[in-house]
Structure 1
């Protein structure tokens, strides 16, 4: 067996890997994959080919014929990854990248058969995502992040900044939970994407795919409050926000960034829940779980989350079984 270091590419030299550049351009331009996904595909395919180079005892500068691999090669590659401690989920992802590459080669006529597609993807158990209970959600928004009481000044100053931070954080968490957005989606949200009158958001998801998401009452109210506080905040500073087109900005007017969103989320979730991971995705998980618990159909929830297929959304059905059983025991006469 080869060492992982021996077939992990040091330089991802595309000239040694026929058709790889064309494939990467294809997934970027035609399938609109993100730069992160493109680089992940590049690494996985180069890693596979470097393993094949050792397996077939080819010199470093010898070209690899994509049609020369066998099912056994693919299985040995998977076995090597497993032996080196990679989780089945990671192995499945690498195999999916290699399969996609060979499907591209098949469509372009570079190979006559996609050998990796003949290999069954290993099964792996998906972890049930962490989420807030409905009581914890109520505590978060109705107690910790409560809006100004009647007669209280809009955006009451709780951080010495005219209430800007509190109003922004409330709106940020309301949108994450109320609309089920990913962290990248909320960071990239712009004013032109927000329709308060019709209670809708236009969201740019993975691969630049656009979707329309309903904006609930609490999120709409929190955004209105934040927008007003934000206007007053920058007016008093006599400054304009450098990133004025973005919905969520820092006190310096710059677009918020991932670490800030994670910090805000961790701060407030730590006060309401004991779950291990307290990140922005918990609110997205909570959105999906609470929707399904309340009777929403899987397809609608999948569309709101921006999933490309129902299988991705089905993981949330596992966490609702306890709720279903609870309702059954209470309602069924012979339970």
Structure 2
């Protein structure tokens, strides 16, 4: 089976992150396990569509969401396309498959008031962790970068003189994001405390744990939840919601969609347009409150 070669292809040629590669690997292993248990066929390279369809039914019966099922099938599609390119198979069994319908997922951003409360009203501890946590929240909100991009920031990426920060995005695509004077001040305060850590293991990276190791993804998630739990009743509080908040607030203030696309590091405008939902809601509110024919006084 060519699964090992496919995983290497995703990592070395496609330059996918380890998180993405592991997601593909798990989806394929789950399907392999299903085929082995249900059909006594551990080799998924020459599986027909009826077996894939039975896996979809099995996932649905376990109350797996259509979104998750579509993601798993997307992993299979990528694998069989790889087998086509390498000459292992002639036709992909998913050639005529149609994705399951999904309800539109609307993520609610934090309000400007909630952001002001987190960044201006909370008393952060006057130590390494307090300085680090505030800088993390500030950078995620003021740059819109992804969580993986944040944890991979290196000291050399921060250009104090040019007021910019270099970000390595998906597929190793670089982009330069402008930073605020407040960002520079918070960064200087954090670095001073960071340099006083007893032992630093990963010195090249900006964000570290208190043990001196490179920051990890679940820690960033816990930091966001810790501080936003005090100011927001929203169910979902995550680094991605801060990215969503960044884009929404810029668009609400009249920012150009193409400019927001470049700041977010999207490859297509369609990816950025998902953030316009709340901007349109804001425009409707302004329209209803301001237009002479709206009936509002």
Distance 1:297 1:73, change over 3 A: farther
8 A contact 1:128–1:316 mirrored in 2: no
Match of 2:186 in 1: 222
1:197 is the counterpart of 2:152 = no
Scaled by the length of structure 2, the TM-score of the pair is 0.85
Q: Give the match's secondary structure for 1:115.
A: coil
Distance 1:255 1:102, change over 3 A: closer
TM-superposition CA deviations, 1:195-222 (whole Å, max 9, x none): 1211211112344433222213322232
1:47 is the counterpart of 2:30 = yes
Task: Measure how far apart 1:52 and its partner are.
Answer: 4.8
Match of 1:12 in 2: none
**The one of 1, 4, 10 aligned to 1:27:** 10
Task: List gaps (5 residues or longer) in structure 1.
Answer: 1-17, 146-157
Match of 2:70 in 1: 92
Match of 1:3 in 2: none
8 A contact 2:208–2:214 mirrored in 1: yes
8 A contact 2:199–2:211 mirrored in 1: no
Structure number with larger C-alpha Rg: 1
Match of 2:121 in 1: 143
**The one of 232, 235, 252 aligned to 1:273:** 232
**The one of 172, 176, 185 aligned to 1:212:** 176
Distance 1:228 1:36, change over 3 A: closer
Alignment of 1:218-257 (within 5 A): 218-231=182-195, 234=196, 239=198, 241-257=200-216
In 2, the alpha carbon distance for the partners of 1:128 and 1:64 equals 35
Task: List gaps (5 residues or longer) in structure 2.
Answer: none
**The one of 48, 52, 55 aligned to 1:69:** 48
Q: Give the root-mean-square deviation of aligned CA atoms.
A: 2.8
Which contiguous aligned blocks of 4+ residues in structure 1 show a shift greater than 6 angstroms?
none
In 2, the alpha carbon distance for the partners of 1:285 and 1:91 equals 24
In 2, the alpha carbon distance for the partners of 1:19 and 1:262 equals 35
Number of residues of Structure 1 aligned to a counterpart in Structure 2: 294
Task: Measure how far apart 1:303 and its partner are.
Answer: 3.2
**The one of 316, 323, 333 aligned to 2:275:** 316
TM-superposition CA deviations, 1:275-316 (whole Å, max 9, x none): 123333332221121122122233432332233444443332
Distance 1:246 1:80, change over 3 A: same
In 2, the alpha carbon distance for the partners of 1:192 and 1:173 equals 20
In 1, the alpha carbon distance for the partners of 2:113 and 2:106 equals 19
1:174 is the counterpart of 2:174 = no
Distance 1:116 1:137, change over 3 A: same
Scaled by the length of structure 1, the TM-score of the pair is 0.76
